[in-house]
């Protein structure tokens, strides 16, 4: 079975075989599992490069080849279409899979008829109807139209939550047998046994993510201001960078919180375990979130999570048992739940333990890898 994948994950192009990162290891695992299930199979992945970088096609496994594509949407679409037709003419393609239903999904849809292959589209979110996302730009409204069309013409759709599955079936009328729920895994879970112990005595609230409007950090800072009125010994650690960093630092100063908030900046992925292990709780205050890998990572480290009511949170959090969900943009509700966990450490430990057990049951890397390949085989009719 031959698979052509279209991806935006430019981390696949970093390093080499001796220093494979999480993205590369995950794709190599898929390739190995596919060959185990269907001997002789091969995978080609067209990858959107980081801006300003160029590279030649490279094999990172015996049956797995990466083809870099330009970072622009038009350049990516053109390269994906040309490379896909070339692979199809030389080897034949049984399945085309796209990381999203947008520009890569459009390229995959065009290739589907040319190569007479099956099409699997991944949808990590239902924000094609999300008012926050649609209001961000005219481009997003155009992307929503394209995305819905691609999804309706796909032979299968992979989603990461039951919420997204229901949206596909109810809103886009995609048949149930074409929808596959396969959660997103994380390699950090394998490090929790050696890195789950806290190394600091101070109390820390942790945020991990890009500093953009979507992530709701402004709401977190205002909630933290309320917490500081009673918990002055608590620190807020913000891990990540982005265009809103200067604005957020200015707000922290205006709220007189600069001595209690640490803007750490970007942290290499392999160093995140220490950030999670040193936290007392993790906050995910997003306006919308496709799944919430930070939620999964925090739970795998046994840290209680307070998150806003996004679709990923609904699949991962059992209210009061494995975490807490609050309304989006609700400063008092967010502050109240954080305060509750800070003043009830036994509850925090119990919730964190239950969260960790949940992730161990539902996010085993080998099981998720097998589910991914099983989905490919079903959509391809093999």
- For the stretch 264-310, pLDDT in tens is 999 988 889 999 999 999 999 999 887 888 999 999 999 999 999 98
Can you give the CATH number for the domain in which 219 is found?
A: 3.40.50.2000
Confidence at residue 194, expressed as pLDDT on a 0 to 100 scale = 46
pTM: 0.83
101 within 8 A of 124, measured Cβ to Cβ: no
Same domain? 257 vs 351: yes
| Residue 125: pLDDT band with limits 50, 70, 90 | confident
Domain containing 262 equals 188-362
E strand intervals along the chain? 2-7, 42-48, 58-61, 64-69, 95-98, 118-123, 156-159, 179-181, 203-208, 234-239, 261-265, 281-284, 305-308, 324-326
Residues 78 and 95 in one domain: yes
pLDDT at 193: 46
Same domain, 193 and 302: yes
The pLDDT, as a whole number, for residue 129 is 87
Same domain as 164, residue 16: yes
Instruction: Quote the pLDDT of residue 213.
Output: 93
Mean pLDDT of 21-33: 91
Same domain, 179 and 201: no
Q: What is the 3-state secondary structure (H, E, C) of 81-96?
A: HHHHHHHHHHHCCCEE
Tally the domains of the chain.
Answer: 2
Structure tokens at 372: 């991914």
66-118 pLDDT per residue, tens: 999 988 888 888 899 999 999 999 999 999 999 999 989 999 999 998 888 99
Q: What is the dihedral of CA 27, 147, 311, 243, to 10 degrees?
A: 80
Q: Are residues 154 and 39 in the same domain?
A: yes
User: How high is the pLDDT of residue 187?
Assistant: 63
Are the beta carbons of 105 and 147 closer than 8 angstroms?
yes
Judgement on whether residues 230 and 335 belong to the same structural domain of the protein: yes
In this structure, the answer to whether residues 176 and 302 fall within a common structural domain is no
For residue 189, the model assigns a pLDDT of 53
Task: Examine the domain organization and report whether 150 and 288 are in the same domain.
Answer: no
Are both 265 and 325 inside the same structural domain? yes
pLDDT of residue 54: 61
Residue 151 shares a structural domain with residue 195: no
Give the C-alpha distances (Å, rounded to integers) separating 282 from 70, 296, 314, 373.
36, 11, 16, 32
Regarding whether 93 and 65 lie in a shared domain, the answer is yes
- Tens digit of each residue's pLDDT (9 = 90 or more) over 212-262: 999 999 999 999 999 998 877 899 999 999 999 999 999 999 999 999 999
158-208, pLDDT tens digit by residue? 998 888 899 999 999 999 999 999 987 776 655 554 445 665 668 999 999
Could you give the CA distance from residue 96 to residue 77 in angstroms, rounded to a whole number?
14
């Amino acid at each position: 079975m031959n698979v052509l994948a279209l991806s935006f994950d430019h981390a696949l192009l970093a390093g080499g075989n001796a220093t494979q990162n999480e993205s590369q290891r995950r794709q190599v695992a898929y390739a190995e599992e596919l060959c185990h299930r269907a001997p002789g199979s091969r995978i080609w992945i067209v990858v959107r490069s980081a801006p300003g970088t160029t590279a030649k096609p490279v094999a990172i496994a015996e049956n797995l080849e990466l083809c870099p594509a330009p970072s622009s949407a038009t350049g990516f679409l053109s390269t994906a279409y040309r490379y896909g037709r070339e692979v199809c003419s030389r080897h034949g393609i049984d399945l085309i899979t796209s990381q999203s239903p947008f520009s890569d999904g459009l390229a995959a849809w065009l290739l589907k008829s040319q190569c007479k292959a099956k099409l699997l589209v991944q949808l990590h979110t239902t924000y094609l109807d999300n008012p926050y996302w649609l209001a961000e730009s005219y481009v997003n409204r155009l992307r929503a139209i394209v995305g819905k069309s691609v999804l309706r013409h796909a032979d299968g759709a992979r989603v990461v939550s039951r919420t997204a599955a229901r949206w596909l079936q109810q809103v886009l009328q995609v048949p149930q047998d074409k929808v596959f729920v396969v959660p997103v895994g994380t390699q950090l879970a394998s490090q929790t046994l050696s890195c789950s112990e806290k190394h600091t005595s101070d109390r820390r609230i942790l945020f991990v993510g890009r500093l953009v409007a979507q992530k709701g950090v402004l709401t977190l800072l205002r909630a933290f201001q309320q917490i500081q009125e009673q918990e002055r010994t608590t620190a807020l650690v913000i891990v990540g960078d982005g265009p809103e960093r200067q604005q957020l630092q200015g707000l922290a100063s205006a709220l007189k919180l600069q001595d209690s908030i640490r803007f750490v900046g970007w942290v290499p992925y392999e160093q995140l375990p220490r950030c999670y292990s040193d936290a007392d709780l993790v906050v995910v205050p997003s306006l919308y979130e496709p799944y919430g890998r930070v939620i999964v990572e925090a739970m795998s480290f046994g840290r209680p999570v307070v998150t806003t009511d996004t679709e990923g949170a609904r699949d991962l959090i059992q209210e009061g048992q494995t975490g807490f969900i609050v309304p989006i943009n609700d400063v008092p509700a967010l502050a109240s739940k954080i305060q509750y966990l800070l003043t009830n450490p036994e509850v925090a430990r119990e919730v964190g333990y239950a969260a960790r057990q949940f992730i161990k049951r539902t996010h085993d890397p080998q099981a998720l890898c097998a589910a991914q390949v099983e989905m490919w085989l079903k959509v391809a009719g093999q």
